[in-house]
Structure 1
Amino acid sequence: MYRKTLLASAVLTALVSPLHAAEQDQSIERIQVTGSHIKRTDMEGPSPVLYIDASQIANSGARDLGELLKKLPVSGAGSFTPQGNDSDSTANGAAGVSLRGLGADSTLVLLNGRRIAVNAFAQGIDTAFVDINSIPVSAIARIDILKDGASAIYGSDAIAGVVNIILKEDFEGTEINASIGDTKDGGGAEKSASLLWGHGDEKAHTTVILDYFKRDETFYSDRDYSKNANQSSRGGSDLRSSSGNPGSYIPATIGSDGSITPKSDIYNWQADANCPADDDIGTYCLFNYAPWMTMNPATERMGLILNHRQQLTDSISGFMEANVQHSRSDVHGAPSPSFGEFYITADNPLFTSGEAINPFPGEDLTMRRRTTEAGARHKQMESDNQRLVFGLDGQVAEIDWELSYTYSRSRNHEYGKTGFVQSTRLQEAINSGEFNPFSPTQDPDVIDDISVHTTRSGRSVTQAWDGQISGAAFALPGGDAQYALGVEYRKEEIEDNPDELFLRGEVFGTEATTAYGSRDQYSVYTEFSLPLIEKLEAQLAVRYEHYSDFGNNTSPKIGLQYRPTDSLMLRGSWGKAFRAPSLVQLGLGPTQESPGLIDTARCALTGADEDCQPQERTVELSGNPDLKPEKSDSYNLGIVWQPVDALELVLDYWNYDQKGLISTDTQYRLNQYNAGIAQSTFDVIREPSSGGVPGRIFRIVDQYQNLGGQKTDGIDLDSRYHLDTQYGAFQFSYLLTWVNSFKEIKADGTERDLAGKWRHPKWRWNASLDWTLNDWSATARVNYISKYDDDIDAGATGTVDSFTTLDTNVSYQGFKNLKLTLGANNLFDEEPPFSAADFMGYDTETHSSQGRFAYVKASYRF
């Protein structure tokens, strides 16, 4: 580390010495804004940036960052919160943001302008993301959202844009905050508290923030619309699981190695004779897993943030940032299901003794059965995030310089508490007759013997050394050209380690991932701000990067801004961006998932629901060390108009073209495979064929590939108006995003426009009104998501209606040093619109199931 820091210092010193800085007007303060390494005299530049300050965050009523960012119109498909977490989720309790719907791994999240280690456990097996809920809202001074590609400025992952979270660092005094809140329909009660302390003078300043947050668990059974997986009464489908208790059986051939081959070419599955009539559909005994499952996990978080700045000499300052956050989440899922992994032979003691009756006399059997006797699957997740930044900055000969080191680590642990069953022990118990699959009750000692506690641990580390200089370069007709020049070295490591039972495949009916990887990355970048004439300024930037695992990448960017009048600015930007393959996508070990897939080969011949409706299929997925980076071209054209001081209107057109998208897209590859089109690193293993009909899918083998791409374009509108009256001050604001198109491009070049389709609404907007008068203040905010087509890939052909909610609060601060707030989110208790795509009856990624949430807050400052 010392050598690399020394090398960076030497390089920067060599660069600084020959440069000559022009005279600058020292009376005008220059600030650095997100989207540029060059300090400016105003916030607006060639690229569109949305600024959200601490007061707006407080007025939003959001208790964590995931909730806040997900409501923004610029947030799209791929944003997620802990809502919908269950025992099959791979990143329980975490939250990520996806700008423009291009994916959480295509949105770069920064903290005070520097990178954060990604979560050790990827979302959905492969999506690398920063857990934004690890940053408490009480510590945030401002959030800057750069709404165009920015790899030329910040490097990899900034395809869709950048979310830069700025922490409070100049706080003075002491402030104590506390709040409590609860939902109308039960579950999800919350409490939080924070302590802020800050003190300083002209030589030094220290800010300390302590934060605590707790939320109770919510189950799908807490909401009328999601308590039953059979959604047929609401116009949907019966989405109960085919693995129930009592179970379903079919004769099978049992190999000497224990392999199981159902005789589906001769027999059909048959439900257990004791299956309740409401659950018996003739082939399977169905299971309603909704009441067992978590809608929102129980969550508890606590953290400490320390920011310190020290004036060392007249021209040199030192700074330090230290963040520590501990989180815990608990989720519950339905009892473990089996889909033909176990067998019972014709000579089993249960049959020979008469304790059970073989529904297919003389045949060995396999089964679909859920081990409800072992209870619901309960996972507890713990995560620890640490981040430490040391740096120096200063000025020499009119040149600003900065050197820093960043260490960021995410450490995750997952504990399977109950409901997890070891397959080898269960099979042995069936063979001996100790476990009777045909009985509704089991010996508690046998259940204890087959039940196991599982563990999983992960670690993600990012270390970075960076140095930068900036200043005036040369004179132009419009003023002095400004430059920035920097170098960076970054090392990334990740581990995801399930226990031996997972690695040996002995914990059935659940999912786990295993991944290892590390890499080094070097980069050098430069940026120029060129005032070509008095009213026209250009931004030029380029960044060169070298990765140890896949090679080099160069990203350029060009921006222009023109001010024909003091009240009007025209701007535009174009750039190339990229996303390096995540370490998980490169180094994922064989991992099983159970997506809902349609078997197009059998559906065309049978027309049966089990073939034509999405069914859970076992997919064995692995990483691909030959992956290439995703690349993107994007441009933005905008107008900023401020006709009067109180009114500002911002209109931007944006366009992204992303290529080489890293994906599995198993349904697409299965469709191609079934159509006879060869698919590399892809295979389908089936049960025996019968009568010219392919056997049922037993297992699919898949691997990550650079498949196709996506294109999207649309318009953003940001308008703000301030009005002072005798009845108080009013602040109106309106944020809108309209998606014109969102094209999904397959590997064969075929396109599908998803705008207005599943999880891609064309319109999102927020309209808010803030009012203040003396000691009173109030906020009302309307959140709107337009309707869109249901998930046709899941066999849902209807429309998901629009969703409108109202958040409001009122505050009084007439007491000395005390501010009290009473508020409610989703004041009118709107239910999420119906979707037939999954058992819970609504789109968990797009809409909130929280319902009305009322809260009170108190803030005392001294």
Structure 2
Amino acid sequence: MPAQPDIRLPRFSRNALTCAIALTLSAAATLAQAQDAPEMERMVITATQTKHSELSAPASVSVINRSELEALVINDLASAVRYLQGVNISEGTPYGRNEISLRGLDSDYTLILINGRRVNSREALTSNYGNDFDLSSIPMSAIERIELVRGPMSSLYGSEALGGVVNVILRQPTENWQTSVGVQYDTPTSGKGGDSTKYNFYGSGALIKDKLLANLIVDSNKRDAWRSDLKPTIDALEDRDEISALANLQWLIDTQQDLQFDISYANDERESDWNNYGTILTNNQQAERISSGLTHNGRWDWGDTRLRYYYENVEVTDDSALIAQIGHITQTNHNLDGQTTVLLGEHMLTGGAEYRWTKLENSRNILGDGTLDDSQAALYLQDEFSLGELSLTLGGRVDHHDVYGTEFSPRLYLVYPLNSEWVIKGGGGKAFKAPNMSQSQADYIIPACRGACSVAGNGDLQPETSVNYELSTQYQAADFGGSVTYFHNDVENKIITETWDRTPGAVLTYQNVNEAKITGWELQAWYDLTDSLSLSGNYSKTDAKDKQNGTPFTLTPEDSYNLKLQWQALEGLSTFIAYHYTGEQYLRTKVKSDGYGSLDIGVNYQINPMFRVKLGVTNLTDAERDQIATDLDYIQKSRSVYAGVTASF
């Protein structure tokens, strides 16, 4: 990513963004790392494609850095962000597939990016089985930080960003050679199976001094299927065997330009036995992904530029007992985009263009020759400027799709500093989500009703649109701080399927029917009790329902909260105790489940500059979900013990 201009930041005291920000409700992190000077200022780019602090960013943004990720037991992107406010890790299936939902909207409305590039295999596996293959395709060891923007961002990123954006920023190649290897082990203390072993390797350095840099990251994870004592005949967590690798070459052309080439590979195999109305069925699925990209970054006297092409190919083998025929599905994505950021007087202008082409091959579910393709193009422009102390961000994006037509997504956001530590900010805009191929193509037919019916696409569908706004106040002092945010989102043309019909051979379709209203509050606070003891917490309240009949959204908790106490016991030795609570939610339209929680503890110890270890227990009290959730095969993982060690050279 090109270095972006740092605008408006001098209006806020940089001293106010202290080490306590590093403790603000990411997941459990080590206090020792948070005290490092570089962590005192957390800069983000996802909200505007230009640099801002968390305090001054014109959006609701949370950041998780690499040291925080290393302190936890994390297997995919969902587990990395689960403790942030406004986030719900919805269980896409009863056998443990997790998907990231933001502010009451399900995972289809969350846009996943890697270095600002879309990650998308959802067309290749569209079913009620759940699709979290995108989340597991990213090597956790490759992540420098994660930026999560809550709220619609279609003005910059187009479709799918209606709920929010999760942008994974990868580690860049380094001039000096660095190497690390690590292993992590996690095992439940009850039930059968569930052991998980993860290995990782990281290497980075200069192939040609001051000219050609490279890195290589490899992660592997093997988890045995886990069966709870509550339901010993089915898998509460599926068997997973995955490996992912990423390599990056960076050519430093001169002081103003660099050229980067990256290539990644991921292979993810799953197997599970699950309950289909009393019959035990087996799912076998495999996703193999190859992606590559070429990026030119320019840092000129007049501004910054970026031009890039990236390619993604995903091959899915889908073998489910519900369907007699094994599915061999291929999704190919081509993306070309360019962006320019320039300062004109008091106005920071960011503009760009994007073109995407997707091809889907699926002879099992697509009639005719088994092939579909679509293309879309977009233009966007954003202006950041100030009127006295008031900072304004005004932007808009025009998307044109060869099927659904043209959509315009405007956005306005204001930030006003009451003083160097306290801001009031808010804004609003319009966002959209285009129908995917399975929804918009009549020739695309997928199984539903647990195999008793099927759903065909509808060529007359319109994009889902939303009008949204939020208002927030944030305070950051040297040893305490917090924020309060209210959000409101009205969604129109919401796409739903017709009511399930288990009549053998019934064919349903999609409809633009619902209008939805989603409102909520997000609160967070932290306080350094002493130089070595810190307390933090957050709370999210969400009211998401159909505007026509008042029916609440399913798999959307009414509230959630996190509490965490951290103690820097000794130099290099930190401990934490954290509690995560997920509130009441409807698992089916009229089936409501009680809330549930998990108490976690952990220790992180930097033995010396070379070795680091971590130990901990998740779900310490062995808490369980209620009988309603258990009967529907939603089972919380039992108490588990984990340990990890990393050696750096």
- The TM-score bracket by the shorter chain reads 0.7 to 0.9
- Post-superposition shift, 1:459? 1.5
Distance in 1 between residues matched to 2:597 and 2:212, nearest whole Å: 47
- Aligned CA distance change for structure 1 residues 617 and 465 (closer, same or farther; 3 Å): closer
Q: 2:525 aligns with which of 689, 695, 719?
A: 719
- Aligned position for 1:557: 411
Q: Does 1:190 align with 2:196?
A: yes
Hey, which of these two has a bigger chunk of strand by percent? Answer: 2
| CA deviation vs aligned residue, 1:362-394 (integer Å, no higher than 9, x gap) | xxxxxxxx8xxxxx6444322111221101111
Q: Does 1:835 align with 2:635?
A: no
- Post-superposition shift, 1:411? 1.4
Identity of aligned residues (%): 23
- Aligned position for 1:524: 379
Give yes or no for contact 1:623–1:703 (8 Å, CA) kept in 2. yes
- Post-superposition shift, 1:421? 9.7
- Aligned CA distance change for structure 1 residues 336 and 649 (closer, same or farther; 3 Å): closer
Distance in 2 between residues matched to 1:394 and 1:792, nearest whole Å: 52
- Aligned position for 2:495: 662
Give yes or no for contact 1:123–1:129 (8 Å, CA) kept in 2. no
Distance in 2 between residues matched to 1:590 and 1:546, nearest whole Å: 22
Distance in 2 between residues matched to 1:71 and 1:835, nearest whole Å: 24
Give yes or no for contact 2:377–2:401 (8 Å, CA) kept in 1. yes
- Aligned CA distance change for structure 1 residues 333 and 568 (closer, same or farther; 3 Å): closer
Distance in 2 between residues matched to 1:75 and 1:99, nearest whole Å: 5
Give 1:286-297 correspondences, 5 Å limit.
Answer: 291=233, 293-297=234-238
SS at match of 2:102: coil
- Post-superposition shift, 1:145? 0.9
- Aligned CA distance change for structure 1 residues 714 and 163 (closer, same or farther; 3 Å): same
- Aligned CA distance change for structure 1 residues 619 and 97 (closer, same or farther; 3 Å): same
Q: Does 1:132 align with 2:135?
A: yes
Distance in 2 between residues matched to 1:552 and 1:802, nearest whole Å: 42
- Aligned CA distance change for structure 1 residues 30 and 527 (closer, same or farther; 3 Å): farther
- Aligned position for 1:734: 537
- Aligned position for 1:100: 103
- Post-superposition shift, 1:66? 2.7
Give yes or no for contact 1:545–1:553 (8 Å, CA) kept in 2. yes
- Aligned position for 2:398: 544
SS at match of 1:704: strand
Q: TM-score, normalised by structure 2?
A: 0.86
- Aligned position for 1:752: 550
- Aligned position for 1:358: none
Q: Does 1:301 align with 2:98?
A: no
Distance in 1 between residues matched to 2:53 and 2:282, nearest whole Å: 54
Distance in 1 between residues matched to 2:582 and 2:463, nearest whole Å: 32
- Aligned CA distance change for structure 1 residues 547 and 127 (closer, same or farther; 3 Å): farther
- Aligned position for 1:116: 119
Distance in 2 between residues matched to 1:818 and 1:129, nearest whole Å: 33
- Post-superposition shift, 1:149? 0.8
- Aligned position for 1:51: 63
- Aligned CA distance change for structure 1 residues 33 and 592 (closer, same or farther; 3 Å): closer
- Post-superposition shift, 1:310? 2.0
Give 1:406-445 correspondences, 5 Å limit.
Answer: 406-415=310-319
Distance in 1 between residues matched to 2:323 and 2:330, nearest whole Å: 26
Give yes or no for contact 1:156–1:579 (8 Å, CA) kept in 2. yes
Q: Does 1:80 align with 2:91?
A: yes
Q: 1:205 aligns with which of 207, 210, 213?
A: 213
CA RMSD of aligned residues (A): 3.1
Q: Does 1:215 align with 2:239?
A: no
Gaps of 5+ in 1: 1-21, 86-93, 228-290, 338-369, 371-375, 423-453, 475-479, 505-513, 596-615, 671-683, 685-696
Give yes or no for contact 1:105–1:129 (8 Å, CA) kept in 2. no
Give yes or no for contact 2:127–2:448 (8 Å, CA) kept in 1. no
- Aligned position for 1:145: 148
Q: Does 1:768 align with 2:564?
A: yes
| CA deviation vs aligned residue, 1:760-816 (integer Å, no higher than 9, x gap) | 3221011122322213111221101223467453xx4xx533212111111222256
Give 1:810-849 correspondences, 5 Å limit.
Answer: 810-815=603-608, 817-835=610-628, 840-841=630-631, 844=634, 848-849=635-636
Q: Which amino acid aligns with 2:439?
A: Q
- Post-superposition shift, 1:299? 0.4
- Aligned position for 2:38: none
Q: 1:463 aligns with which of 325, 334, 338?
A: 334
Q: Which amino acid aligns with 2:357?
A: K
Q: 1:390 aligns with which of 287, 294, 299?
A: 294
Distance in 2 between residues matched to 1:459 and 1:468, nearest whole Å: 30
- Aligned position for 2:422: 568
Distance in 1 between residues matched to 2:322 and 2:225, nearest whole Å: 20
Q: Which amino acid aligns with 1:464?
A: N
Hey, which of these two has a bigger chunk of helix by percent? Answer: 1
Distance in 1 between residues matched to 2:53 and 2:323, nearest whole Å: 63
- Post-superposition shift, 1:323? 1.5
| CA deviation vs aligned residue, 1:169-204 (integer Å, no higher than 9, x gap) | 246511111011211112211001001111146444
- Aligned CA distance change for structure 1 residues 618 and 310 (closer, same or farther; 3 Å): same
Distance in 1 between residues matched to 2:405 and 2:616, nearest whole Å: 52
Q: Which amino acid aligns with 1:539?
A: T
Q: Which amino acid aligns with 2:59?
A: S
Q: TM-score, normalised by structure 1?
A: 0.66
Paired residues, number: 608
Distance in 1 between residues matched to 2:448 and 2:314, nearest whole Å: 27
Q: Does 1:66 align with 2:66?
A: no
Q: Which amino acid aligns with 1:713?
A: T
Q: Specify the structure having the higher radius of gyration (Cα).
A: 1
- Post-superposition shift, 1:529? 0.4
Q: Which amino acid aligns with 1:197?
A: G
Distance in 1 between residues matched to 2:261 and 2:358, nearest whole Å: 21
- Aligned CA distance change for structure 1 residues 397 and 66 (closer, same or farther; 3 Å): closer
SS at match of 2:273: strand
- Post-superposition shift, 1:408? 1.6
- Aligned position for 2:347: 481
- Post-superposition shift, 1:164? 0.7
| CA deviation vs aligned residue, 1:632-664 (integer Å, no higher than 9, x gap) | 11111000112x312221211111111101111
Distance in 2 between residues matched to 1:620 and 1:820, nearest whole Å: 50
